[in-house]
A = this chain, B = another copy of it.
């Protein structure tokens, strides 16, 4: 059993944000598995098999990857951003824990630039002070848990990075999240809508939460809600280092 399994983060979109470690793993892979738009970022070449799949098939994809590696392939599972942040790494370990026969496989996780870091860099430094990251999808957890976390995050005065704010099948959650934050006294906070950062489709927009509308976000958007001290001047938004 000399195969390997690598779970790699491709970063937010630009080739200039793919780490050399990930590029090397892709160059020596025999098989690439992942959600189709991410697999499409890997250039085809002889000796490389691409296995694109749908985005609701994480656990099956993880199991397929483990099986291929156990058969001697050099498998790379690709995620956008960082593979450990709301992405494929957890699914692979879930599949591995359920499959003791594969426990001795050679497995590595290669980190990447996750969406909130790319978005923050583009607008300034909104993550310069304590912050949290919340996945707004309720496919895998109760909506009540999300609401509770939003309230506690606002009470803690964390800057809040919201992943997967809105999709066609979950059109209402983000609107409710904005209402919760308004009810909690966050109406004057700055909200950054960062879409497809580092790609040709990149857009970024900052508004006061009171003026934020749900349709400003979709599944390609990363939303950052500033803390109570977050400042805007010119085209920049940043969280001051000091807090009184």
Contacts and interface: CB of A to CB of B under 8 A. Distances in A.
Contacts of A124: 84, 89, 93, 109
A82 B117 CA distance: 7
Contacts of A148: 156
Interface size for chain A: under 10, 10 to 19, 20 to 34, or 35 or more residues? 35 or more
B84 A125 contact: yes
A169 interface: no
A91 interface: yes
A137 to B, nearest CB: 10
A94 interface: yes
Nearest to A107: B236
Stoichiometry, as copies per complex, reads 2
Contacts of A96: 233, 236
Interface in A60-101: 82-87, 89-94, 96-97
Contact of A243 (B82, B91, B145): B145
B16 A18 contact: no
Interface stretch (A48-56, A128-136, A180-188, A211-219): A128-136
A93 B235 CA distance: 11
B19 A16 contact: yes
Contacts of A42: none
A24 interface: yes
B130 A234 contact: no
Given A112-B113, A156-B152, A244 B94 contact: no
A121 B128 contact: no
11 contacts: A16-B24, A82-B113, A84-B121, A84-B127, A93-B236, A93-B238, A109-B121, A129-B135, A132-B132, A132-B133, A140-B242
Given A109-B120, A140-B243, A148-B156, 17 more contacts: A11-B19, A16-B24, A17-B111, A18-B20, A19-B19, A84-B117, A84-B121, A84-B127, A85-B128, A86-B128, A93-B124, A94-B238, A94-B240, A130-B132, A141-B244, A145-B157, A152-B156
